[in-house]
Each structure stands twice: as C-alpha cells, then as structure tokens.
Structure 1
Amino acid sequence: MVWKARGTRTALAGLAATLVAGLLAGCGSSGEQQPDKRITVWTQENLPPRMAATKKVVRRFEKESGVHVDLVGVDEAQLPQLIMSAAAAGKLPDVIGAVPLGQVWQMYGNGLLHTDVTRKIVADLGPKTFRSNALSLTADGDKRLAVPSDAWLQLLVYRKDLFAKAGLKAPTSYASALKAAAKLDKGGMDGMSLATDPSDVFTQQSFEDLALANGCRLVNDKGEATLDSPACRTSFKTYDTLAREHGAPGTQSVDTTRATYFAGRSAMMVWSSFLLDELAGLRSDALPSCPQCKKDPDFLARNTGIVTALQGPDAQRPAQFGEITSWAVTRTAETAASRSFVDYMMGKGYADWFGMAPEGKIPVRNGTPKDPDVFRTAWREADMGVDKKRSLKQAYPDGLTDQLLDGIKGMRRWGLTEGQGILVGATNGELPVAKAIGAMTGGQESPDSAVEEANSEVEALRKSLQ
C-alpha cells in the first residue's frame, strides 16, 4: 500500500549521478537490448498470491506471443537501490510493474525510462480509454513517462450509525469532521484515528490527503517549498486537533489506526481503499473485532460510510490523495517485446491484473475502443479477499463502486503538476512532513513550529537535489 523506502539526503542527491553513470558504462550509446524475444519483468506485486496470479497471466502471454518473460518479484522499499545496482551493472529489467508515481518520476529524472515506447503503447490502446487524470499524473508535458494501470485511494471512513444517532452530517469538510470528532470523542470512543508515526510514509500520505483538501501545496510553480502558506498552516492545525485532541494517545501507525476502528473504538479513520476487503471480514488476519461484530460479522461494513474527497475552508473544490501505479519501460528495454507485453497486461490480461486485489487496484483504463466500459464492469464483479471471497458490489451498499471510480477524478498529488516529481520521491524517503507531524501530535512542537520545520526540511532537500 505504501512505499517505505529509507535513505539519507546524501544518498538521494547522489542517486542520479550513480544511475546515469551506470547506464553509460553498462549499456553503450544506444542503450537498447538486441531483440531476442526474451524480457525481464520486475513486479512490485510480490506477495505470493499476487505473484501466482501474475504468473498465470504471463504464461498465457508467452503462449500467444512467443516472448519469454523472466518474472521477478521485488519489494517496493528496495526498488530504488535495486534499480541503482542494476543500472550500474548494465542489467536493468525491461519492464517494471506496479510502480508508484514517486518512483516513476525518480526514474524519469535519472534518465531511465523509455518514454517513446510508453507513448506508443498508450496510442495503441487509445488515450480516450484511460482516465484523463491518470494520464496527466504520469506525463511531463508531451512525454509519456509510464502507462498508468490502477489506483488506490485514501478514504475517510466513518460510523454511519453513530453519526445518525448524534444528528451529524457526513464528514465531507474540515468543519463537519472537526464537529463530529469533538462530539463523538466520549465514553471510550475516539473521535478520529489518524497516523502520527514519524517514521512511516503512511503518516505523510494521511496528512497530504487532508492538506490537498484545503489547497495546501508542497511547492509553488517555481519549485520552492510552500508548506508555510496559510492553507498549509490551517491543515497542520486541523490535523493536530483531530489526531492529538480527539485521537488515541501515543504514536499511531497504519496498524493501530485500523485496529482501533475495527475494535469499534473510533468514529472516523483515514486509511486506504485496501481496507475494504478487511472491513468486510474477508481476511482472517485482520478481522473487525467490535462488540457487535461477534454476532454480526458484517456489522462494521454495513455501518461504515465513506468519503472519497474532503474539502477545507481555503479550497475551491474537494480533493484527495491517491496513488497510481504504472507499467514502466526502461531505457534499455527490448522495445518490441516490452511493448507487446504491456499492451497485453493492459488488454487481455488487465482484468486478471486488477482482479488480484480490486479494492486497491481500481482500474484507470475504462475499457477498449470497441467496448468502452468493459474493464469498469469487470472490476465491479471481481472478487476481493483472501480467506473468503466477495465482490465490492456484494459486500457494500449500492454506490460505493461508483464513488471509488469517480474518486480518481478528484485525486491530486503534491509536486507533480509543478514538475517536482524527483523531490516528491525524495520526500517519501526522508519523510520531513511525517517527522513534523509526529513531533506536533506528540506535544513536542506547536503546529506553527511544525510547519516551519517541515517547510525548512523540504526546501533543504530540494536544494540538495539540484
């Protein structure tokens, strides 16, 4: 769900030079491999069930195309180092799957992507068959960095039953969320579960979700850090109120926030759409444990409402954080075989690809020119879960699938539209915002001092990457 790469500023600043040097030393002037109908594909969908599902699709592709695929599962946190090592040795894979936006932009900034091949793939498939926002976030002007595949969304989930009993409206704005958190924070119930762990990118993602909703930007059009803007200061103060005043005591992580909500001790929570199979009781290792859930396993799912896009007082429209993962073709790829492979994975193999985990792999390609809605329809019917299986349509009330699909339209990301994708990738490693959030919600710093610290760290990181 999240990228947990770690590193130092020195390592990040030196990454570009190391990678480019590796390419020049190991790949020659043209870079492209000689065609042999054999490609190496790395995938970050490396959990055993997902690797098994991917292998089935790959075997079908091999039989139909005559291209041999060496499939390798890689860990998301290790990808930057693995790419660096492979580039230095002149042994980059041809294709990488499930690449998050930050990593796509890092690879692009380091000259590792074959943007001409990905442009041709999208042209083959039909740009109009994709969600326009997904294409925008994976492009730099007219350069097509990668082929967007699927998305997960950051959601605000809330207890519909408690809200109705208290006469509260759905928490679609800062004001309504703050009002609900204060009113429902009583009797062993926390008003809100929010991540505060300074060492986890999930904390940074959770804050970015609320910050985007208020029009808070990481950088301005010149690339300068702008976390000290009035909109961002309001976001920091709001996060502090929700997490520290109305949340559980102590450091809250991706696991503890979910556990609190599942135990029925939290009225609201910010989490990703990967939550939905667990909330529906389809994973034995992460079952809802609320008092009512013992007799009625579907109680929490039935009584959970979902907000896909929040709006703050300084914003002109609602927005939310989300992640788009893509197929990336490397600079040294065997182009014909790689192109046919990605075409297949976004065509004949696409339903199987997003069907591995439909709650967290929302399709960003709607269909084909001949059948414009075929993939959206297949996604709605796809089974989610591990130990039990049900589709989103079966597990949740009518309208949720449309909410998730429509949520992609409201997805925004810090720094990408300003051309600062490399900085975005670096902040995911250094976590300056998560550290400031941790200090603020832990009581070591005021919201204003947390703002100054985060802004200073981001600006220093930006300068170190120049």
Structure 2
Amino acid sequence: MRKHPYRHRALAAGSAVLLLLLGAACAPDDGGGQGAVTFWTPHVTPDRLAQQEATAARFTEETGIDVDVVAMAADDQNQALVTGAASGDVPDVILLAPDQAAAWTAQGLLDTDTAGAVIAELGRDTFSDHALDMVTTDGAPAAVPSDGWGQVLVYRTDMFEAAGLEPPRTIEDIADAAEQLSSDGVAGIVLGTKPGDPFTTQTLEALLLGGGCDLVDDAGEVALDAPECARALDAYARMADASVGGDQDVETTRAAYLSGRSAMLFWGSHIFDELAGLAPDFPPTCQECADDPAFLAANSGVVTGLLPPGADGSRDPDEARQYGLTLNLGVPRGADTESARKFIEFLLSDGYMDTLAVSPEGRIPVRMGTAEDPTAFADAWASLPAGEDEDARRPLSDFYDQATMSSIVQGAQSFQRWGYGTEHAAFAGALAAQNTLSRELGPLFDGADPNDVARRMGEAARDVQADVD
C-alpha cells in the first residue's frame, strides 16, 4: 500500500536493527576529505530507495565519491544521530524535517556553517525565503532546503460553475461554499475531523493559519484564545457540518472525493497523481471516472494559500498562508564536510530533478532555479513523470493546465508552519507531535462555542509549552 506523509513511515525493526544501522551507516571513512558519503533518507519504500540510489550512482560516476544510501525513518534518525554523535560516528548528509533541524541545532549536532556555505554557493536568492526561515535558528540556516509538500484545497470546478460560485480564497469562503454545495448525495467538503489524529492535527493548523490565527503573540505568549482563532474554529465547525458524517481521516477523506461524494477536499499535494488516475492502489471511482479515469483531474481546481481576514492578496502575494512541510539536507558535526558539500550541491543542481522525481506531487521544489535561469527547476518539475506504476507514469502537466501547475509550485515558495524558524520551534513541534490541539476538537463538532474550544486549546498548549521550556 502506498505511504503518505500523514502516516508514520518506519523500518520494521527494533533495537537490533537500529544497532545494525549504526554500525553500517556510521562507519568512519579513511578518505581524508574525499571519503564515501553516508546519506540517511526517510524515504524508505523500495521504489523510492531505488530512485535515490540511482541518483547517488550518478554522483559517484561524476565525482568518484561513493555514496551509501541508508533508509532510516525520522524517529530512528533521532535516536541514531544522538548515539552516533556520542561515539564520534555520524552520517555525512541527512534528509530531515524542520523540527529535526531545530532540535538537533539546539543539541549542537548540526554543522550550520556548512549549510550556510552551500546556500551561499548555490545562491541564497534562488531558495524560497519561507523555506529558509523554517530551518533558521539564531539567524543561521541549520540545513539546506530541498523541497516540500503543502496542504491544498481541491474543489470540483464543474460543481462550482453550476452553482455560480467563485473559487474560495478564505476559510469563510470555503465554509460558505461547503454549506451551499452540500446535498443528500454529495457533501460540500470532506476534511479531517477525527480528534487526536495526525491528519486532523495538520488540517487544524492549516485552517487556523489561513484564518489568521497564530500560535504565539509578539511577546511569546500562547495566542490560541485570540478572536481570530475562535472565528477560524467556527468556520471549521461549519465545514465539518457539511462534510461526510463521522470521524474523517486521511483514508476516508480521499475515498470520498475520489468517489465523487464530495465537492471539495482539504488534503496534501500528494493527491494530484491520484486524481489523474496514476495511483492504481487508489483509483478514482466516481461515476464519470469509469469512462475517463482522469475526469477528476480535469474537473478539479486548486487553492494553495488562504487569505487571512483583512487581506486581499492584490498587493502582497505573501499575505496568503499555506501550511507546508519541507525536506532539508543537513550535515552533522563530525561529518566529512567536503564530500557532504559536493553531494548536497549535486542534489540541488545537476541531480535536482532526479531528487524530485522520487515523488513529484509530494516533492515540490523550493529552489525555483539558478541565478542565470530563475525558473529552470520549477519549469522542469512540471514535466517530471508521476504515478505509482513505473510503466504508466506521466507528467502532471499532462492533466493540469499551466495555471494550476504554476499555482502549486508558487504556493510551495510560501509554506508556513507555526513556530518553525523561531525560538518556539521545539514547542510547536511537540504540540504537533502529541496532537494536543486536535484532541480538543470533539466538543467543537458537537456544537460547543468556538470561543470555549479556543480557550481549552490555549490551556492545553500552555501546558506543553511549560514542559518544553
């Protein structure tokens, strides 16, 4: 079964396998600055591992530097790096998330000087400012941004046109459209509503971000009981009322939209190949899809960033807020920095398209191009083959128009997350990992006052903040 970022991806192993990984992945080299590169990646499925190994082989062919690609899920990375650092044996490059960058920097485990040098060499202006902000601590980047996936709203353009509705731009627009489009046979929207579920945690933060709700205020105090948060929760409750009944999670929401039983879907960008009929494990099953497997791709619009209250986006496109999670290339302290630099620079230049081709719909570039050709990588990404069947992979641009493709890649340049890139990164990471806020959602969906729910969320967040601090 295909894995998505909402699901925990780990090697089927316990401590014995971890010890084997430590022995194999952290063996010191004797190359005197040109030794083999050990690369830890959380993309552990066989097909994605094979693609990464092929990219590494290209690097070896061009440079003569061997690369050992080690599949290691994020939770295993966290334990293995601490253990390896204590013994002096560390990998050279790690593909990591922003919360890992923040935690490892605080522990002194990452070589931030090398990350900064790579960014300067490739050109800081060629990277998304937001992606850089996500991994910046005390003014210095802890890792080099590579790519990411974002939360998007997918909507049925045919249903919107029939109802005379414009594409939604705010969470209020989404709630209004969901109520208007809801009928006995079709839900107005489907989105995560299962309390305490990781998918719902992501949905909640994405909607609150879009509603102008911030985790903390300028003084660093939890701000979840602010009026903006209560209004965003009210819109969320309205959407839940117009959604498919019962607790909705990552599997049920996808199934509802693919079957044509919902006019809108709030999901990750990984949905784009499935809408096009390129994922055999999750085929479109709507009535029209029987004759045209790509019907949903042809009849779905996409909204990336949402405008908070008071913004219209006409003067500042950065006003739109889109929840997104980036992958970044970090170098641990004690690594072979010369070889690590060469490998990262390769992965983000000559090997960049190979890197993104692992999963184009979930690995959207946050380095748009080069100084000489500012959109080179964004343009090439649109032509990368996507899909789960190796013999039937096709570019997403075969199914989506240029405006949609541009919206997806432009949205990735504005990914945001609560706390990342600030002194509150560890707090925000713990809050998300523990699904603290989404555990408080049950009463909201049962008709509780959004102001009361916001206050309870604030109290729960302060408890986590006190533990972290």
Q: TM-score, normalised by structure 1?
A: 0.88
Report the CA distance between 1:78 and its aligned residue: 3.9
Q: Structure 2 matches for 1:63-462, cutoff 5 A? A: 63-97=61-95, 99-243=96-240, 245-313=241-309, 317-387=319-389, 388-441=392-445, 443=446, 446-462=449-465
Residue 18 (structure 2) aligns with: none
Assess, with a 3 A threshold, how the Cα gap between structure 1 residues 312 and 364 changes in structure 2: closer, same or farther.
closer
SS in structure 2 of the partner of residue 399 of structure 1: helix
Report the CA distance between 1:444 and its aligned residue: 8.4
Assess, with a 3 A threshold, how the Cα gap between structure 1 residues 71 and 417 changes in structure 2: closer, same or farther.
closer
Q: Which amino acid aligns with 1:456?
A: E
Instruction: Check conservation: 1:222, 1:418, Cα contact below 8 A.
Output: no
Per-residue displacement from partner, 1:234-259 (whole Å, max 9, x unpaired)? 1111111211x111121111111110
Cα distance in 2, alignment partners of residues 352 and 368 from structure 1: 17
Report the CA distance between 1:172 and its aligned residue: 1.5
| Structure 2 portions without partners, runs of 5+ | 10-25, 313-318
Report the CA distance between 1:300 and its aligned residue: 1.1
- Identify which of 47, 50, 73 aligns with 2:48: 50
Report the CA distance between 1:295 and its aligned residue: 1.4
Per-residue displacement from partner, 1:416-437 (whole Å, max 9, x unpaired)? 2543111122122211112122
Assess, with a 3 A threshold, how the Cα gap between structure 1 residues 107 and 375 changes in structure 2: closer, same or farther.
same
Per-residue displacement from partner, 1:181-201 (whole Å, max 9, x unpaired)? 111111221111110223432
Assess, with a 3 A threshold, how the Cα gap between structure 1 residues 141 and 109 changes in structure 2: closer, same or farther.
closer
Q: Which structure's relative contact order is higher, taking Cα pairs within 8 Å and 6+ residues apart?
A: 1
- Percent of aligned positions that are identical: 35
Report the CA distance between 1:371 and its aligned residue: 3.3
Report the CA distance between 1:305 and its aligned residue: 0.9
**Bigger mean CA offset, 256-265 vs 67-76:** 67-76
Per-residue displacement from partner, 1:400-424 (whole Å, max 9, x unpaired)? 1110121124322211254311112
Cα distance in 1, alignment partners of residues 372 and 108 from structure 2: 36
Per-residue displacement from partner, 1:65-85 (whole Å, max 9, x unpaired)? 232222111123544334344
SS in structure 2 of the partner of residue 381 of structure 1: coil
Report the CA distance between 1:117 and its aligned residue: 0.4
SS in structure 2 of the partner of residue 70 of structure 1: strand
Assess, with a 3 A threshold, how the Cα gap between structure 1 residues 278 and 343 changes in structure 2: closer, same or farther.
same
Q: TM-score, normalised by structure 2?
A: 0.88
Instruction: Check conservation: 2:194, 2:249, Cα contact below 8 A.
Output: yes
Aligned residues: 438
Cα distance in 2, alignment partners of residues 142 and 63 from structure 1: 36
Instruction: Check conservation: 1:231, 1:314, Cα contact below 8 A.
Output: no
Assess, with a 3 A threshold, how the Cα gap between structure 1 residues 193 and 62 changes in structure 2: closer, same or farther.
same
Residue 12 (structure 1) aligns with: none
Cα distance in 2, alignment partners of residues 188 and 90 from structure 1: 61
SS in structure 1 of the partner of residue 205 of structure 2: helix
Residue 20 (structure 1) aligns with: none
Report the CA distance between 1:462 and its aligned residue: 1.3
**Bigger mean CA offset, 364-373 vs 110-119:** 364-373
Per-residue displacement from partner, 1:279-337 (whole Å, max 9, x unpaired)? 10001001111111111212111111111122243557321111111101112211111
| RMSD (Å), alpha carbons | 2.2
| Structure 1 portions without partners, runs of 5+ | 7-25, 27-32
SS in structure 2 of the partner of residue 52 of structure 1: helix
Instruction: Check conservation: 1:4, 1:429, Cα contact below 8 A.
Output: no
Cα distance in 1, alignment partners of residues 311 and 80 from structure 2: 40
Residue 16 (structure 1) aligns with: none
Assess, with a 3 A threshold, how the Cα gap between structure 1 residues 328 and 343 changes in structure 2: closer, same or farther.
same
Report the CA distance between 1:223 and its aligned residue: 2.6
Per-residue displacement from partner, 1:334-375 (whole Å, max 9, x unpaired)? 111111111111111111001221111111112223333321
Instruction: Check conservation: 2:365, 2:412, Cα contact below 8 A.
Output: no
Report the CA distance between 1:64 and its aligned residue: 2.5
Cα distance in 2, alignment partners of residues 183 and 371 from structure 1: 45
Cα distance in 1, alignment partners of residues 209 and 163 from structure 2: 28
SS in structure 1 of the partner of residue 329 of structure 2: strand
**Bigger mean CA offset, 372-381 vs 113-122:** 372-381
SS in structure 2 of the partner of residue 222 of structure 1: coil
SS in structure 2 of the partner of residue 72 of structure 1: strand
SS in structure 2 of the partner of residue 343 of structure 1: helix
Report the CA distance between 1:40 and its aligned residue: 1.7
Q: Which amino acid aligns with 2:278?
A: L
Cα distance in 1, alignment partners of residues 450 and 87 from structure 2: 46
Residue 23 (structure 1) aligns with: none
Instruction: Check conservation: 2:128, 2:414, Cα contact below 8 A.
Output: no
Instruction: Check conservation: 1:94, 1:338, Cα contact below 8 A.
Output: yes
Q: Which amino acid aligns with 1:320?
A: Q
Cα distance in 2, alignment partners of residues 340 and 398 from structure 1: 34
Cα distance in 2, alignment partners of residues 78 and 223 from structure 1: 31
Per-residue displacement from partner, 1:32-79 (whole Å, max 9, x unpaired)? x97460232100122211111110111121232232222111123544
Per-residue displacement from partner, 1:139-173 (whole Å, max 9, x unpaired)? 23531111000121210111111111111111222
Instruction: Check conservation: 2:366, 2:413, Cα contact below 8 A.
Output: no
Cα distance in 2, alignment partners of residues 437 and 226 from structure 1: 17
Assess, with a 3 A threshold, how the Cα gap between structure 1 residues 4 and 291 changes in structure 2: closer, same or farther.
closer
Report the CA distance between 1:89 and its aligned residue: 4.6
Assess, with a 3 A threshold, how the Cα gap between structure 1 residues 374 and 410 changes in structure 2: closer, same or farther.
closer
Report the CA distance between 1:131 and its aligned residue: 2.2
